[in-house]
């Protein structure tokens, strides 16, 4: 592989590739407003860039409200890299009884220590170059020799169609692909590392082993939950989970800290703690090929990173248990509102047949911020190659409910969720049944009425939920959600009320809003006159 000149390596520490939203105080100090961030501030003021490099991002995290990354799965991947860097710079990668006290000390400082930050980043300056010939950031330089062919930039950019797929976000052709900017390419590199599909990939030969199949990425199809504070500084500290007592930082290495690249054929053994768990769990290996000048990408290799599947675990997922006893993360669903997950974020043992467990990070996140929100980001996908829709949502501040001393209120929030969902499920059953009776269908299935009812009900239910949470109004919540369902049912089925058939179907199915008709009790054999035998 040809060596990339130093000035073409695209230094992620210094290049401005991470879009940010500056705090109001920072904008005011610079003489600007939120409307002109990224432009020259008032005369004599500071020019605030719309995007920053990793070094400036961490140095000025206390001056930044939030990241402005518009690709949700890329945001989840970038957060994990930043959590690992924050843990290293603050020393929170080291377990101990004083871990919380050490984090309070960092919070009291009001910013990340610039000397420790510079000392750490200076050790790995060459590891943060996107196109470095030896250690390209989060990539495997061996792919240029081990892969039979490159995948192309249309395959790399997850919002583009490739091959014979339909165009949704933009029109591109594999025969004449448009070279993406390096800043865009690195975000989609993160998407591939965490959310990449399983199945066929570019053939890769390592020694005598040749394979062209890859396991799904560690976050494939999952929804990732992140605590967010008033500033990016608070967000990063809230997102650092307390390490287990047996974690040794010197063995818990991020990919940019490795001394040598791992053997793809051997069983992977890189995850030995929170930092490696955040950054080294990828099943996909990638290599970006730059255009001359190093500001755009002309090609990309995408293949398997390891023959064997790495252990799947993550501190930012809601883990559930199937009927068979298998553990799996809660899936991203573009049609499911975030309020329906809130009790699983607040409680260690929330209600539900799937026995959900809240993300580990929320056990300590509340200590880092007085106004903690939860941002959920993900990618609705199947397990293989089908990508459906990005998912992103954010809650109002939940810090009071996340505190251990307010568990009773958190349990009431869990009941709110159950009542809201019950009303929604019963409304769906009622509208499907009414439609089936009205159209003389053989069975009640998803239909125009049920779809319209869902579109009307769930936004109103969400408003009702957050109003009751905000006001701590838990009395009569079941009736409140049921009234919304009744009103929506009336609106959706009103058009059929003018005919005898429609009115009859409408009224017969209405009972489903209240749980349906009670089922008759089963008769025992004796009661049915079946002799003196007993019922089994």
Residue with the larger pLDDT of the pair 80 and 325: 80
CA–CA distance, 301 with 448 (Å, rounded to integer): 45
Q: Over 60: is that where the pLDDT of 61 sits?
A: yes
Q: What confidence score (pLDDT) does residue 170 get?
A: 58
384 token code pair: 């293989």
Angle, alpha carbons 441-444-445 (nearest 5°): 105
Residue with the larger pLDDT of the pair 16 and 444: 16
Q: What confidence score (pLDDT) does residue 8 get?
A: 65
- For 390-426, the pLDDT digits (tens) are 999 999 887 667 665 567 888 888 899 999 999 999 9
- When pLDDT is cut at 50, 70 and 90, the band that residue 160 belongs to is confident
- When pLDDT is cut at 50, 70 and 90, the band that residue 520 belongs to is confident
Q: Over 50: is that where the pLDDT of 34 sits?
A: no
Q: What number is the average pLDDT over the span 218-242?
A: 95
| 439 contacts 451 by C-beta, under 8 angstroms | no
- When pLDDT is cut at 50, 70 and 90, the band that residue 1 belongs to is very low
Q: Quick check: helix, strand or coil at residue 225?
A: strand
Q: Over 60: is that where the pLDDT of 174 sits?
A: no
Q: Over 50: is that where the pLDDT of 501 sits?
A: yes
Q: What confidence score (pLDDT) does residue 169 get?
A: 52
Tokens 């250690």 identify what position? 135
Q: Over 90: is that where the pLDDT of 12 sits?
A: yes
Report CA 479 to chain centroid distance, whole Å: 33
Report CA 4 to chain centroid distance, whole Å: 34
CA–CA distance, 51 with 68 (Å, rounded to integer): 9
Angle, alpha carbons 19-68-183 (nearest 5°): 35
Q: What is the mean pLDDT of the chain?
A: 88
417 token code pair: 């969720």
The CA distances from residue 337 to 184, 433, 514, in Å, are 28, 25, 23
CA–CA distance, 224 with 318 (Å, rounded to integer): 8
469 token code pair: 């949470």
Q: What number is the average pLDDT over the span 91-101?
A: 95
The CA distances from residue 90 to 56, 116, 137, in Å, are 16, 8, 22
CA–CA distance, 150 with 287 (Å, rounded to integer): 9
Q: What confidence score (pLDDT) does residue 211 get?
A: 95
CA–CA distance, 415 with 420 (Å, rounded to integer): 8
Burial (CB count <10 Å: 0-12, 13-18, 19+), residue 207: exposed
Q: Model pTM greater than 0.75? A: yes
Q: Over 70: is that where the pLDDT of 259 sits?
A: yes
Q: Over 50: is that where the pLDDT of 317 sits?
A: yes
CA–CA distance, 504 with 494 (Å, rounded to integer): 12
Tokens 């049609």 identify what position? 335
Q: What confidence score (pLDDT) does residue 311 get?
A: 85
Residues in the chain: 536
Q: What confidence score (pLDDT) does residue 358 get?
A: 87
The CA distances from residue 195 to 296, 377, 390, in Å, are 23, 12, 11
- When pLDDT is cut at 50, 70 and 90, the band that residue 446 belongs to is confident
Question: Taking the chain, what is the end-to-end CA distance rounded to the nearest angstrom?
Answer: 74
Q: Over 90: is that where the pLDDT of 523 sits?
A: no
Q: Phi and psi of 439, rounded to 5°? A: -100, 0
- When pLDDT is cut at 50, 70 and 90, the band that residue 176 belongs to is low
Write out the E strands in 71-157.
Answer: none
SS3 breakdown of the chain: % helix, strand, coil, rounded to 5?
A: 40, 15, 45
CA–CA distance, 279 with 201 (Å, rounded to integer): 22
Where is average pLDDT lowest: 6-10, 270-274, 391-395? Answer: 6-10
CA–CA distance, 344 with 349 (Å, rounded to integer): 8
- When pLDDT is cut at 50, 70 and 90, the band that residue 234 belongs to is very high
CA–CA distance, 311 with 218 (Å, rounded to integer): 9
CA–CA distance, 171 with 162 (Å, rounded to integer): 10
Residue partners of 422: CB distance under 8 A and separation at least 6: 478, 481
Residues pairing with 297 in the sheet: 290
CA–CA distance, 56 with 423 (Å, rounded to integer): 49
Q: What confidence score (pLDDT) does residue 348 get?
A: 72
- When pLDDT is cut at 50, 70 and 90, the band that residue 456 belongs to is very high
| 214 contacts 183 by C-beta, under 8 angstroms | no
The segment with the largest mean pLDDT, out of 24-28, 99-103, 403-407, is 99-103
Q: Over 80: is that where the pLDDT of 46 sits?
A: no
- For 423-441, the pLDDT digits (tens) are 999 999 999 999 999 998 8
H/E run at residue 300: strand 297-304
Q: What confidence score (pLDDT) does residue 30 get?
A: 81
Q: What confidence score (pLDDT) does residue 405 get?
A: 55
Tokens 């002309």 identify what position? 298
């Amino acid at each position: 592989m040809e060596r990339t000149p130093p000035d073409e390596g695209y230094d992620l520490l210094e290049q401005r590739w991470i879009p940010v939203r500056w705090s109001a105080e920072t904008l005011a100090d610079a003489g600007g407003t939120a409307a002109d961030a990224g432009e020259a501030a008032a005369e004599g003021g500071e020019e605030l860039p719309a995007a920053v490099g990793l070094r400036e991002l961490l140095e000025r995290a206390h001056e930044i409200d939030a990241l402005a990354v518009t690709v949700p799965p890329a945001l989840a991947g970038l957060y994990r890299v930043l959590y690992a860097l924050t843990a290293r710079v603050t020393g929170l990668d080291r377990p101990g009884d004083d871990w919380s006290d050490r984090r309070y000390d960092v919070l009291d400082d009001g910013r990340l220590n610039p000397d420790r930050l510079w000392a750490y980043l200076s050790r790995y300056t060459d590891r943060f170059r996107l196109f470095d010939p030896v250690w390209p950031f989060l990539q495997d330089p061996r792919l240029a020799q081990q892969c039979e062919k490159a995948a192309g930039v249309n395959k790399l950019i997850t919002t583009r169609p490739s091959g014979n797929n339909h165009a949704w976000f933009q029109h591109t052709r594999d025969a004449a692909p448009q070279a993406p900017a390096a800043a865009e390419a690195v975000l989609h590199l993160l998407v591939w590392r965490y959310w990449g599909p399983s199945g066929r990939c570019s053939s890769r030969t390592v020694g005598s082993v040749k394979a062209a199949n890859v396991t799904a990425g560690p976050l494939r199809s999952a929804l990732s939950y992140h605590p967010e504070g008033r500033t990016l500084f608070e967000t990063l500290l809230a997102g650092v989970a307390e390490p287990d007592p047996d974690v040794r930082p010197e063995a818990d290495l991020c990919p940019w800290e490795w001394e040598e690249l791992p053997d793809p054929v051997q069983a992977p053994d890189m995850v030995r703690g929170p930092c490696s768990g955040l950054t080294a769990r990828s099943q996909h290996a990638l290599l970006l090929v730059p255009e001359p000048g190093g500001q755009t990408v002309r090609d990309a290799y995408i293949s398997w990173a390891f023959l064997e599947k790495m252990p799947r675990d993550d501190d930012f997922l809601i883990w559930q248990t199937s009927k068979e006893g298998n553990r799996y993360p809660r899936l991203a669903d573009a049609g499911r509102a975030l309020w329906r997950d809130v009790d699983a974020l607040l409680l260690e043992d929330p209600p539900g047949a799937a026995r959900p467990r809240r993300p580990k990070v929320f056990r300590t996140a509340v200590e880092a911020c007085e106004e903690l929100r939860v941002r959920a980001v993900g990618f609705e996908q199947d397990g293989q190659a089908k990508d459906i829709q990005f998912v992103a949502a954010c809650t109002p501040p939940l810090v009071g409910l996340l505190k251990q001393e307010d568990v009773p209120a958190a349990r009431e929030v869990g009941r709110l969720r159950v009542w809201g969902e019950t009303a929604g499920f019963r409304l769906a059953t009622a509208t499907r049944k009414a439609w089936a009776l009205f159209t003389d269908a053989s069975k009640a299935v998803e239909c125009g009425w049920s779809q319209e009812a869902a579109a009307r009900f769930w936004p109103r239910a969400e408003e009702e939920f957050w109003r009751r949470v905000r006001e701590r109004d838990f009395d009569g919540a079941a009736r409140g959600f049921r009234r919304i369902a009744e009103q929506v049912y009336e609106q959706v089925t009103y058009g059929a009320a003018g005919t005898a058939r429609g009115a009859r179907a409408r009224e017969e199915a209405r009972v489903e809003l209240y749980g349906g008709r009670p089922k008759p009790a089963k008769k025992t054999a004796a009661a049915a006159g079946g002799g003196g035998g007993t019922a089994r």
